[in-house]
Amino acid sequence: MENEMRNGCSNSLVQEAGAASKSGQACMEAVERHVLHTYNRYPIVFARGEGVYLYDTEGKQYLDFASGIGVQALGYGNSELNAAIKQQVDLLMHTSNLFYNLPTASAAARAAAASGMERVFFTNSGTEAIEGVIKAARKYAFVRDGHADHEIIAMENSFHGRSMGALSVTGNPHYQEAFQPLLPGIRFARMNDLASVEAQITEKTCAILLETVQGEGGIYPAEAEFLQGVRRLCDQKELLLILDEIQCGMGRCGEMFAWQHYGVKPDLMACAKAIGSGVPVGAFFLTEQVAAQSLAPGDHGSTYGGNPLVGAAVDKVFEIFERDKICDHVKEISAYLEQRLDELEQECPCITGRRGLGLMQGLVLSQPVAEVVKEALKQGLIVITAGGNVLRLLPPLVIEREHVDEMIEKLKHVLTSCDA
């Protein structure tokens, strides 16, 4: 009887899976029934993407100005990237880090050349990259000082991820409350307030961590004087500068990495999202000096990190970025985007400000942002929120002027109707 019940349950689940793979409604029902509810999803099932557009199971087209939260830098269906991934699937997907593999060796060399940072460790996500830089910074200080009670200064209003280490350096109590106690030795300063940072430095401080452009917190770019000042503080006090470029890096702001706008260089950097342009991969970068005196064999690892499949994707992404001068395109198209957004601000009273860098832009709204996002979806436009009252725009880096114009037209319609 028990086996019959088990088999009956198994058969019904198989039937449910089959229905979910074909029907949008069945898909949503299966997710709500079986996937842990940590996201409030919009009632849309996307079936395919092409260029800068997504299409749902009903065939409706959406202009994507979120790019999977900054992931799809090259848009959807890039034939060259797809071909590289497909080829690698047929050759070799995984061996573990007990052996070398060709794609990841090439990807690492390209990453080092693009960043000017000599060492890289490939992870599976941005959160894991943050975990890596925290460990590297503390190990570096341990090797130097011989004790393990060092502190890291992070920024208020920041977001670095939801694992316990990343959560510990995320400057938002809302994310942290239920998961205390977190990592000890984390102090918080205010973004773009150098005196606030300096006031947090103690004899135990080993590193200062910040997003070059705060994303989830509301699109706040670091001011040049501030970031340059933090670099000077790190040099004077022998601290490590850690920059989180998970969202703002990989061409998003017009340089391969946003810090390259400022004339500074970090000692450690976290990266993810667009580095795989759809393939789940992250990385953390280290200068040779930090690498030589921090993580050694046995200190850190990842079964999947940098396997041949993601290595092939990262390698091809860097190749396309360099050959097609993606960063130059971002500089050109972002100037036009900023112009059109500023014009929209003049026309729509509900927009009370704009801030951002490159193709990472935020519009500050006086009306509920969540409602604007929902209405935009009805108009076939994907935008997302940041920092409570900010509408966040993170389009694929390959958008053209006509896509900017289309977005402005749709968004103007939404904001005008919401104002009425």
Gap between the Cα atoms of 72 and 83, Å rounded:
16
Question: pLDDT tens digits, residue range 21-34?
Answer: 668 999 999 999 99
Predicted confidence (pLDDT) per residue in 204-250, tens digit: 999 999 999 999 999 999 999 999 999 999 999 999 999 999 999 99
Cβ contacts of 393 within 8 Å, gap of 6 or more: 65, 66, 337, 341, 356, 359, 360, 361, 362, 363, 383, 407
- Residue 388: per-residue pLDDT: 85
C-alpha distances (whole Å) from 210 to each of 36, 217, 241, 259, 352 are 30, 12, 8, 11, 26
Q: pLDDT of 99-123, one tens digit each?
A: 999 999 999 999 999 999 999 999 9
For the stretch 122-161, pLDDT in tens is: 999 999 999 999 999 999 999 999 999 999 999 999 999 9
Q: Is the dihedral of CA 21, 25, 29, 31 positive or negative?
A: positive
pLDDT at 10: 64
Residue 9 in this model has a pLDDT that exceeds 80: no
Distance of CA 289 to the CA centre of its chain: 26
Task: Name the one residue in this structure whose structure tokens are 């009370």.
Answer: 352
Looking up tokens 């990259």, which residue turns up? 129
pLDDT exceeds cutoff 60 at 1: no
Domain 79-323, what architecture?
Answer: 3-Layer(aba) Sandwich (3.40)
Residues 183-188 have a mean pLDDT of 97
What pLDDT is stored for residue 17 in this prediction?
Answer: 66
Rounded to the nearest integer, the mean pLDDT of the chain is: 95
Q: What is the pTM of this model?
A: 0.94
Q: What is the DSSP string of 78-126?
A: -HHHHHHHHHHHHH-S---TTS--HHHHHHHHHHHHHHS-SEEEEESSH
The confidence score (pLDDT) of residue 125 equals: 98
* pLDDT tens profile 348-400: 999 999 999 999 999 999 999 999 999 999 999 999 999 889 999 999 999 99
pLDDT score for 124: 97
Q: Considering only CA atoms, which of 380, 377, 342, 388 is closest in space to residue 361?
A: 342
Please give the structure tokens belonging to residue 305: 């990190």
Tell me how far CA of residue 278 lies from CA of 161, 162, 290, in angstroms.
18, 20, 30
Is the model's pLDDT at 6 over the cut of 60? no
At residue 379, the pLDDT reads: 97
What is 42-71+326-419's CATH topology? Aspartate Aminotransferase, domain 1 (3.90.1150)
Radius of gyration of the chain (CA): 22
User: Is the pLDDT at 2 greater than 80, yes or no?
Assistant: no
State the pLDDT at residue 387.
Answer: 87
Bridge-based pairing of strands 186-189 and 213-214 is unpaired
- Of the chain, the percentage scoring pLDDT greater than 90 comes to 92
